[in-house]
Structure 1
Amino acid sequence: MLKYSLAMGIRVVCIVLCMVTPGWWLLIPAAGAVFLPYFAVVIANNVGSGASSRVRRPGALVRRDPGDRP
């Protein structure tokens, strides 16, 4: 959550810089304001994707045919 909040704080700074930056330099803070939320969400959602959170197929499952119903 801290990384996301920091990224959104930087986005606010980019938006303010868009109001005072002249000429072609405006594209730099505008790109930050547009693309930073996407990367912030990707980073925030990627927190729990370590090696320990992999889904493993349980070995105790046995496949059944649909015709095997009692």
Structure 2
Amino acid sequence: MKTQQSITTLPASPADDRRKRMIQYTVAMTIRLVCVILLFFVQGWWLLVVGIGAVVLPYIAVILANNVHGGTPGDVERPGVIVPVRDPRTGSPYGPDHDA
């Protein structure tokens, strides 16, 4: 699926940002749930791996969910900024025919 080209440097809308963070949180907590269930079925050093996953993943999920910007923030640029041009002979911003 092709991503839509952005024509502005504005960040993602709050609804899109919130949806992305909710999906990340849900995925992390689903993996945690799998880790908790696996605690009853695995043995040996896998028990330690699954136990660490069950304990650490809630912290990681909350950090991901609270990451409001979600990436590098872009500078907002105003399109069509008017740049004053000065007459090189007089230094006037109005041109040679205008009396300042």
Q: Please indicate the TM-score interval, normalised by the length of the shorter structure.
A: 0.5 to 0.7
Q: 2:40 aligns with which of 5, 12, 19?
A: 19
5+ residue gaps, structure 1, are 53-70
CA root-mean-square deviation: 1.5
Whole-angstrom CA distance in 2 between matches of 1:20 and 1:8: 19
Q: How many residues align?
A: 52
Give the structure-2-normalised TM-score: 0.47
TM-aligned CA deviation for residue 22 of structure 1: 0.9
Match of 1:42 in 2: 63
Larger-gyration structure (1/2): 2
Deviating above 3 A after TM superposition, structure 1's stretches of 4 or more consecutive aligned residues are: none
TM-aligned CA deviation for residue 51 of structure 1: 2.5
Are 1:7 and 2:28 an aligned pair?
yes
Q: 2:73 aligns with which of 39, 51, 60?
A: 51
5+ residue gaps, structure 2, are 1-21, 75-100
Whole-angstrom CA distance in 1 between matches of 2:23 and 2:45: 32
Whole-angstrom CA distance in 1 between matches of 2:43 and 2:25: 28
Q: Percent identity?
A: 50
Give the structure-1-normalised TM-score: 0.66
Judging by fraction of residues, say which structure has more helix: 1
